[in-house]
Amino acid sequence: MTEHRYRLPTVDRASRRADRDAGADRAGDRAGRRVAHGGTPDAIRLPRVPQRPVDRTAVLHRSDIPLGERSAAREAQREERNGQHGFSRLLRELAIVVVVALVLSLGIKTFVAQSFWIPSGSMENALVPGDRVVVSKFTPGPISLKRGDVVVFHDPGHWLDIPHKKRSGINGALVSGLQFVGLYPSGDNDLIKRVIGLPGDHVKCCNTRGQIVVNGVGLSEPYIYPGGGTDQKKFSVTVPSGRVWVMGDNRGDSADSRFHDDGSGRTGSVPESDIIGRAVMIVWPVDRMSWLSNYSSTFDKVPQP
C-alpha cells in the first residue's frame, strides 16, 4: 500500500515581510491624511507645555545650549552680581569714612581743639556776638597760662543768671550730638574772658590813672572797649593758688571776677580745672578771621608775685 505525503504550501519570508511593510505604509497614509485635514495622529498627540523664563544658572550647565549663549548668560550673571556687590561695597566704604571722621573729630575736640561761638558783647571789640573761635586744649596743660590769654571756661558758680535754654526735640538731639563729637560749636553755657591775674598775683582797681594794677604795675590795656573804662568796681585781691582772675574787654558790659567776689579773691576767681582752653583764632565770619593776641607787651613789665 502506497503512503501519500501531503506538503503544505510554503510562504516565502520575503513575501511576508513585503505584506507587513505594505500594511505599515497604509496606516501611515491614513495618519497623514488625518494630519492634512487638521487632525493629529493619536500616537503623536501631545499636551501643550507653557513656556518658562530661561534660568541663566541652568543654561550655564546645559551642554545642549550653544557655547555663545552660555557665555552671554554667564556674562549677564557676572554683571548682575558685580552691580549688587558694588553698591554694598559703596555703602560699606561710606559708613567706614563717616565713622572714622566722627572718631577723629571727637579725638580732636577732646585733646587738641574745639570750636565755640560768642553769645554776648562782653569781649568787644576783640570778639563780637556771633563770632566762632577755635580753642586750644593745650592751655592749660602742656602750655602754661599767661596773663592776657583769652580763655573759655565752664560757669564756676552761677555766673550765668539765666542759663541758655536747652534745645529740644530732634533739632536739640542733633545739635547735642554734633557738639559732642566736635562738629558744632559749643558755648551755650560757657564763658569767655581775658586772664588778668595768675595764682599769687595781687590785683586791684585802680591807680590814680584809672588803671588795673597787677603786682604794683599799672596796666595800659589797648584791648579795652573804647570809652568803656575799667573802674566800674573797686577791689583788691590776691589770686588763690590754682585759680585765675578774669575780666572782659568790654568792662562796662562784663559780669566777670569783679562782680562775683566777696573780697577774698576766691569766689570771684576761676579754678584752672574749669578752663576748657585758650581761644587762639576767630574762624567765622570769614571777614573777621584773625589770630587772637594775648598782648604780651601789656604784661611784660609785671613782676612775679
Contact 245, 269 (CB under 8 A): yes
Which among 109, 115, 137, 193 is annotated as catalytic? 193
Which amino acid is it at 201? D
**How is residue 131 written as a grid cell?**
563770632
Those residues whose C-beta lies under 8 Å from the C-beta of residue 240, and which sit 6 or more positions away, are 199, 265, 266, 269
Separation of alpha carbons 11 and 123, rounded Å? 135
Contact 206, 250 (CB under 8 A): no
Which among 122, 136, 186, 269 is annotated as catalytic? 122
- DSSP β-ladder status, 212-214 and 217-218: antiparallel
Contact 202, 305 (CB under 8 A): yes
Question: What is the number of other CB atoms lying within 10 angstroms of the CB of residue 164?
Answer: 11
Whether 165 is catalytic is no
Q: 151 pairs with which residues across the strands?
A: 193, 278
Whether 193 is catalytic is yes
Nearest to 133 by CA among 154, 118, 148: 118
DSSP character at residue 258: G
Handedness of CA 272, 103, 181, 123 (dihedral sign): positive
Question: What is the number of other CB atoms lying within 10 angstroms of the CB of residue 130?
Answer: 11
CA dihedral 144, 149, 152, 158 (to 10 degrees): 100
Contact 253, 121 (CB under 8 A): yes
List, by residue number, the catalytic residues.
122, 193
